[in-house]
Amino acid sequence: MPRKPAIDRIKLLYEENATQFRFFLTWRQLMLAGYFATMAALALGFKWCISEAHAYVWACPFVGAWLSAIFWALDHRNLELYQLANRVGSALEKTLGDNLAGHFTAYQARRAPRILRHQVILGTFYMVSGLALLIVGILSFVTDLTVVIHAAPK
């Protein structure tokens, strides 16, 4: 066990690390909300293009596919950062002798099965959304999608 001044420094590092961990998780939440807001704006743009600018109807889905890839990349980078904060926090807990009841150690111990982890769910969501938008973009580029949409039964 380290001396008292060393423990105080370690506790200070631990507090700062916990703040960073929460910061990265908050950014993840904000990025997901930003993704939904961006896709909603693109959906409105797509609707407007269908009725007002037929020649550019293909642009919105391609932009949506590109943004899906960007948001996935941002989420992946953020994932690396909060996992790093988690590993550092766990190491600090072990240094303090709190390796059984510490927050970060418990967080690592209670990881969900791989298929149920946020990183897999969000990564799949971003990629499936991006792929669907890419397909819609290609279809709207090679066909007159406005005719298909206006011919659909209401």
Per residue of the chain (154 residues), give pLDDT as tens.
566 777 888 888 989 999 999 999 999 999 999 999 999 999 999 999 888 887 888 889 999 999 999 999 999 999 999 989 998 988 888 887 765 567 777 776 666 666 667 888 899 999 999 999 999 999 888 886 555 556 566 6
> In degrees, to the nearest 5, what angle opens at C-alpha 118 toward C-alphas 114 and 122?
115
Beta-carbon contacts of 127 under 8 Å, excluding residues fewer than 6 positions away, are 68, 72
Helix (H) / strand (E) element for 54: namely none
All structural domains of the chain with their residue ranges: 4-151
Total length of the chain: 154
Tokens standing for residue 63:
């932009």
What is the full DSSP assignment across 85-152? HHHHHHHHHHHTT-TTT-HHHHHHHTPPPGGGSHHHHHHHHHHHHHHHHHHHHHHHHHS-HHHHHHHS
